[in-house]
Amino acid sequence: MPTFHTKDITDKHFLITGGAGFIGSHIVEYLLNNNAGKVTVLDNLSTGSIKNVELFLGNSNYEFIEGDIRNAETCAKACNNIDYVSHQAALGSVPRSVKDPITTNEVNIGGFVNMITAAKNAKVKSFTYASSSSVYGDEPNLPKKEQLTGNLLSPYAVTKMTNELYASVFGRLYGLNVVGLRYFNVFGPRQDPFGPYAAVIPLFINGIINNKDVFINGDGEQTRDFTFVENAVQANIKGMLCENNDAFGQAYNVAVGANFSVNFLYITIKTLLNLEHNPIYREQREGDIRNSLADISKAKNLLGYNPTQNFLDGLKITVDFFKKNNF
């Protein structure tokens, strides 16, 4: 992975909430590989994996705290002596939020307020957090520009928009340096293919490799700006270490700026695996948007974000990972 920073971080202490999860563990890996002074992970392992903790336990600069962001005291303790926070802990998935809005709200809003309050009280240098492209709702224009959002389509989207509102207020009221990252369909190695709320790319790869049923919602012509995890890591590093005062208090699209249909995704994975397989089409999912494509110019201009991996190159890396790891 390329280096995304120039600042000396050998004496800096980073807190990654949700660091046992997919994106969080890649942020941890980057920081440890680049000699960060200390990296602390806070995760309750409800959706994160103990395997993503065990990857780093041999590193003396790594610390794991098993705890829940719904507990304010846990958040406060985790923020002790922290310089930079990357807040990835959340309950993901639009369908999960439709089925269980109460827990999604408790974790994604209650937990967020606990964490940002703890960060403010600890006087951290910056607080970068995961938002989502779901905040665009039914806004029809493409590409998606940060200032134009529509009616929200799921409880999950409500929680992420609420995070952005809280972050903006904390920035203005308390002077906390906050950066929000609206992820667009992030994928890559270590993304969990199992469980009822698994993301589409690991689900497809796992299903095709193991000759299991693969479902495509609707006609499959819906499009997404699929974003390789390396790009999300870059955005977090640029957000945490940002020194551009004009960049704080805002949310940014984190994507590549190119979109592909789910049908194209399926065919490409099948081709990369060199396997025969046929999908099963079913009804469209509640709360899903039809088309997604990001304008990433704001992140480029204010954060210096510049995607290093496009969709197809990232997909090849991801497919190779799943093949080698026998998923």
CA 269 vs CA 56, 141, 225: distances in Å: 30, 29, 16
Reported as type and span, the H/E element at residue 297 is helix 297-303
Pairwise CA distance, residues 302 & 243, whole Å: 10
> Phi, psi (5° rounding) for residue 308?
-105, -15
Looking at every residue in the chain, the average pLDDT score rounds to: 96
Pairwise CA distance, residues 254 & 241, whole Å: 16
CA 217 vs CA 61, 152, 311: distances in Å: 44, 20, 21
pLDDT tens per residue, range 54-64:
999 999 999 99
> Phi, psi (5° rounding) for residue 148?
-115, 105
pLDDT category of residue 219 using cuts at 50, 70 and 90: very high
> Phi, psi (5° rounding) for residue 237?
-65, -45
pLDDT mean over 90-104: 94
Residue with tokens 């204010």: 302
Catalytic-residue membership of 252: no
**Domain architecture of the chain: domains with CATH:** 13-187+228-256+295-308 (3.40.50.720)
Pairwise CA distance, residues 103 & 99, whole Å: 10
Q: Strands, DSSP E only, in 50-196?
A: 62-66, 84-87, 126-132, 178-183, 186-187
Q: Which residues contact 286 (CB under 8 A, 6 or more apart)?
A: 94, 95, 98, 154
Q: Are 317 and 188 in contact (CB under 8 A)?
A: yes
pTM of the full structure:
0.96
pLDDT category of residue 290 using cuts at 50, 70 and 90: confident
pLDDT mean over 90-112: 96
Q: Are strands 186-187 and 178-183 parallel, antiparallel or unpaired?
A: unpaired
User: What pLDDT was estimated at residue 120?
Assistant: 98
pLDDT mean over 16-31: 98
Q: Are strands 223-224 and 260-261 parallel, antiparallel or unpaired?
A: antiparallel
In a 3-state reduction of DSSP, which class is residue 261? strand
> Phi, psi (5° rounding) for residue 181?
-125, 110
pLDDT mean over 85-89: 98
Pairwise CA distance, residues 323 & 152, whole Å: 37
pLDDT tens per residue, range 291-324:
999 999 999 999 999 999 999 999 999 999 999 9
Q: Which residues contact 196 (CB under 8 A, 6 or more apart)?
A: 95, 96
Catalytically annotated residue among 30, 62, 136, 156: 156
| pLDDT at 16 > cutoff 90 | yes
Pairwise CA distance, residues 311 & 286, whole Å: 26
| pLDDT at 327 > cutoff 80 | no
Residue with tokens 């490409």: 268
pLDDT tens per residue, range 107-135:
999 999 999 999 999 999 999 999 999 99
